[in-house]
Structure 1
Amino acid sequence: MTPIFIGSEVYRGSSYGDWHPLHIPRVSTVMDLTRALGWMPPAQYRTSPRAKPKALALFHTPDYIAALQQAEATQQVDDATRIRHGLGSTANPVFPEMFCRPATGAGGVMLAAELVRAGGIVHVPGGGTHHAMADYANGFCYLNDPVLCLLSLRKLGLRRIAYVDIDAHHCDGVEAALSGASDMLMISVHEDRRWPFTGALDDDARGRALNLPVPRGLNDTEMRTILHRLILPALERFDPDAVVLQCGSDAIEEDPLSRLALSNNAHAEVATALAQLAPRLIVLGGGGYNPWSVARCWTRVWGALNGWDAPGPLPDTARDVLEGLHWNRRAAGRNPPLAWRSTLNDPPREGPVRAEITDRIGYLQKRVALARAS
């Protein structure tokens, strides 16, 4: 089945505020770049619907949904709402689209679940907000669309569902929601000692999670080792009906909110491998705070899912999209390297595989083997 891309114009011009890490354009740039490359045939594009409160209640509490809607309508929150629901905080500020934007991401992933019911691949770069809890906003995330996606797949009758997360930050909201769920498997690869400081190696979410915290400087060779020695074998044993991949680009070397060192080759490689394994695959976005690396990564992933690549200099139409980006809060953004504006593929960032990583993989392998034996 031909992959489907789900996007929306709500992301164009919508911002958390000029001071926030998510003030940068992301999904809209991916849409523009894919079209400039000729990678968005109309038949492969769907406009994301906005999820209604009743649909969001599949995971979120009615009180929280109502508070989020009220905050958008009035553009303010009182102290009680701020304390209870985490709205109006530094991380989760009040802004004009604070309900409709995340509700659109949620609607996109729930549509994706319907589209893959009979099989296939869907890319939803506006999804991936994996920190939100059922009753409060958390970590730039107002709604937890990965959880809504997983629960929608279950509601559609799929019985073995896997969630793989390669964002630099641990998916605490997803783990909290899935803890103990016998029909779910969660695998998270995230930077050790990085906010939200959850996802320890021995944290198994009551038997449903494989958490791999990795040290600073994670390189492409190490990610490939993790993919082939942990992620793929665990998925093959679990034999999922569907896989949801959260493909946060903040693990890329140029991102300001992590200290990992991947290239976007790693993200494309993971997405391609899961597409070959899973009968149903939904690929989400997630973190990513350098506008050039986000746009190039998620465009690269969409190309990989279709078997397309652009390894050389970009055509002028695509280059114009990247030339039009601005990131004035960072020195590199004020004078971006030529490669950020002229190519899609990062140079490979290979390196040694550190013992710290192989030891942790070995620990998780043993745990999987013991669980299978029991």
Structure 2
Amino acid sequence: MDLSCALGWLPGTSYLTSPRAKPAALTAWHTPDYIAALQAAELTGSVSDDVRARHALGTASNPVYPEVFRRPATAAGGSIMAGSMLRAPGRLYNPGGGTHHGLPDRANGFCYLNDPVLGILSLRHNGLSRIAYVDIDAHHCDGVAAAFEGDPDVLMISSHEARRWPFTGPLEERGVGNAWNMPLPRGAHDDDMAAVCDGLILPRVAAFRPDAIVLQCGADAVTEDPLSRLQMSNNAHWRVLRGLMPLCDRMLVLGGGGYNPWSVGRLWTGIWGTLSGQDIPDRLPLNAQNVLRGLSFDHPRLGRSVPEDLFTTLADRPRTGAVHDDVRSGLATLAARARVWV
């Protein structure tokens, strides 16, 4: 947000404050007992052994912190509000959303609530029945997959690193509904993602003819991220968004994973620039550079000796190469499956 403001891309007329979702709204998918446990964890700052075992709160993956209810409830409130606003055509961006691992009765992978699921349910509540959900986070969207398994009116496409937590979403997992998984090999780069975009994402979404598109745009697939071994530039994410935009007049874009503050800030700012029709500058003005230079990252390798490009540019240099054999064969398998299911 600060970087978008420094570039003049976020005037007050383009920004709305997310409401904090009320417990009753959150129980559209989450259980009342879990929501109560999450609120109690914030109030007391701790959880009992029973709550930890049942709801996975207070673990290394889902620690209790001072805003453990308010923060995810605000992100969820933004996605729920977006579902209501998209009764009319438009493009909305909730970078604080994208918490796609959350499960009905427990936290999962630092996702305490599942705002993509709640956003899709809100879209449906507001009369939009066919939803295309596209997830390009480095990790598979296990919570969203669990929510809509067997639902033919939700198209779910996930590209994610193969053999990485949560170890779900294999290529062969077709499911009963309309789910398509594309695991990517370690080292997958821009050309691999372009092949997935052109060979899977765009044709499947176009054929589905959705009432709305939800794009989860996790930033952890880029080279600088510590939690994946993918090698994309931020151009890969922007290309997917540009391809999807003409396919539907209603779109909700969410954030998601991303653990290097410089690469996340630059990638998600470029997402907003793409959505709002801005030109990506070759070099950032000084006030925008100062936003990036003011960040810090407590990481023994990536937080030190930060490349100058991460301060001075918005677009990464493209990271290209020959499309991996695993990607080619996976797309061929999915194309054959599409011919059977069309």
Decide: shared fold, TM above 0.5.
Answer: yes
Paired residues of 1:178 and 1:205 also in contact (CA < 8 A) = no
Shift of the alpha carbon at 1:310? 2.9
CA distance in 2, matches of 1:205, 1:156: 27
Alpha-carbon distance, 1:94 to partner:
0.6
Deviation at 1:254, TM superposition (A): 0.6
1:89 maps to what in 2?
Answer: 59
Q: Matched residues in 2 for 1:243 and 1:134: separation?
A: 23
Give the letter for the 2:25 counterpart.
A
Is 1:195 the counterpart of 2:170? The answer is no
Does the 8 Å contact 2:106/2:112 carry over to 1? yes
Q: Which amino acid aligns with 1:162?
A: A
Q: Which runs of 4+ in 1 moved over 3 A?
A: none
Aligned residue number for residue 276 of structure 1: 246
Q: Which runs of 5+ in 2 are unaligned?
A: none
> Residue 128 of structure 2 corresponds to which residue in structure 1?
158
Which piece of structure 1 moves more, 257-266 or 201-210? 201-210
Q: Which residue of 1 aligns with 2:71?
A: 101
Residue 205 of structure 1 and its aligned partner are, at CA, apart by 2.6
For the pair 1:41 / 2:14, whether they are aligned, the reply is no
Asked if structure 1 preserves the Cα contact closer than 8 Å seen for 2:188 and 2:324, the reply is no
Task: Check if 1:245 corresponds to 2:227.
Answer: no
Q: Deviation of residue 309 (structure 1)?
A: 2.6
Give secondary structure in 2 for the equivalent of 1:276: helix
- Once residues 95 and 309 of structure 1 are traced to their aligned partners in structure 2, the CA distance between those partners, rounded to angstroms, is 39
Q: Is the 8 A contact 2:97 2:255 kept in 1?
A: yes
User: Contact (CA 8 Å) 1:130, 1:171: kept in 2 or not?
Assistant: yes
Aligned position for 2:258 = 288
Mapped contact 1:58–1:148 kept (Cα < 8 A): yes
1:138 maps onto 2:108 in alignment: yes
The equivalent residue for 1:344 is 314
1:328 shift after superposition: 2.7
Structure 2 counterpart of 1:86, one-letter code? A
- C-alpha separation in 1, matches of 2:299 and 2:324: 34
1: CA distance, partners of 2:175 / 2:106: 20
**Offset, 1:206:** 1.3
Q: 1:171: which partner in 2?
A: 141
TM-score, normalisation: structure 2: 0.98
TM-score (norm 1): 0.90
CA distance in 2, matches of 1:96, 1:201: 39
Instruction: Point out where structure 1 has 5 or more consecutive residues left out of the alignment.
Output: 1-30
Task: Give 1:159 shift.
Answer: 1.3
Q: Give percent identity, aligned residues only.
A: 57
The 5 Å alignment of 1:291-370 reads 291-370=261-340
Q: 2: CA distance between counterparts of 1:296 and 1:258?
A: 18
User: Aligned equivalents of 1:123 and 1:330: distance in 2?
Assistant: 32
Cα distance in 1 for partners of 2:87, 2:197 equals 26
